[in-house]
Amino acid sequence: MKDNPKRQPESNGKQRFVMSEQAERVEQPGKRETPATDERATRYAIKTVENDRLLTCLETPHLTVNIEAGFTVSASAARKSAHGTIYLDGAAQGEPFLDNEKKIYNFDHHEGCVRAFTLATCEQILVMILKGWDLRDREWKIFANEPDLDTVLAIWLIFNHLNISRKDPLHIRFLYALVRLEGTIDALGLEFREFTAFPAELLRRAQLVIDFLRKDEIQLKKDGLWEEIDSLEYTASILRKIDRIVYKSRDFNDFRGVSELARVDISEDKIVTVVEAESGIYEVEPQLQHLYGNRLGLVALRKSENVYTLRRMDLFMPWTLEATYERLNLIDPAVRCAKATNRWGGSADIGGSPRGTGTQLTPRAIARACRDALQKPNIRGQATGLAKTALIIAAVVSVGEIFRLIWSLSFGDNTPQGLLQNPGFGFTIALCAITAVIFALPYFRKSWRFRVELPRGKDWWWLLPAVLFCGYGGGVWMPPQYQTELQFAAQLVLFVLLAPAAIELLFRGLALGLLTENAPIQYCESRWFLSWPTVGSAFLYAGFIGYVKLVATGSPSAVFTNWTFGNIFGAFAFGIVAGMVRERAQSVLAAALFHALAALVVLLTTAAWL
- What percent of the chain lies above the pLDDT cut of 90? 22
Q: Rounded to an integer, what is the distance from CA 587 to the centroid of its chain?
A: 25
| Average pLDDT rounded to a whole number, residues 421-447 | 85
| Average pLDDT rounded to a whole number, residues 183-200 | 86
**Of 356 and 446, which is predicted with more confidence?**
356
Count of beta carbons in the 10 Å neighbourhood of residue 322: 13
- pLDDT for 345 equals 87
Beta bridge partners of 66: 143
Query: CA 454, CA 337: separation in Å to the nearest integer?
Result: 12
Beta bridge partners of 87: 106, 143
Cβ pair 198, 208 in contact under 8 A? no
| Average pLDDT rounded to a whole number, residues 239-259 | 75
- pLDDT for 524 equals 80
Burial of 544 per CB tally in 10 Å (0-12, 13-18, 19+): buried
The dihedral built from the CA positions of residue 446, 452, 455 and 461, taken in this order, carries a sign that is positive
Band the pLDDT of 3: cuts 50, 70, 90: very low
DSSP designation for 510 = I
**Is pLDDT of 24 > 70?**
no
Instruction: Choose the weakest-confidence range: 253-257, 382-386, 562-566.
Output: 562-566
**Is pLDDT of 564 > 60?**
no
Could you read off the pLDDT of 481-518 as tens digits, one per residue? 666 677 888 888 888 899 899 999 999 999 999 998 77
**Of 227 and 250, which is predicted with more confidence?**
227
**Of 28 and 279, which is predicted with more confidence?**
279
Query: CA 19, CA 31: separation in Å to the nearest integer?
Result: 24
| Average pLDDT rounded to a whole number, residues 281-295 | 80
**Of 539 and 28, which is predicted with more confidence?**
539
Could you read off the pLDDT of 469-480 as tens digits, one per residue? 888 877 887 776
Instruction: Choose the weakest-confidence range: 346-355, 397-406, 481-490, 497-506.
Output: 481-490
Q: Rounded to an integer, what is the distance from CA 584 to the centroid of its chain?
A: 27
Question: DSSP assignment of 232-287, as one string?
Answer: HHHHHHHHHHHHHHHS-GGGGTT----EEEEEEESSSS-EEEEEE-SS-HHHHHHH
- pLDDT for 236 equals 92
Contacts of residue 305, defined as CB under 8 A and 6 or more positions apart, other chains included, come to 358
Which of 350, 352, 312, 311 shows the shortest CA–CA distance to 329? 352
Could you read off the pLDDT of 154-172 as tens digits, one per residue? 999 999 888 887 765 545 7
Q: One-letter amino acid identity for 128? A: M
Burial of 357 per CB tally in 10 Å (0-12, 13-18, 19+): middle
Which residues of the chain form CATH 3.10.310?
259-374
Domain 259-374 in CATH 3.30.70? The answer is: no
Could you read off the pLDDT of 321-331 as tens digits, one per residue? 888 888 888 88
Cβ pair 590, 582 in contact under 8 A? yes
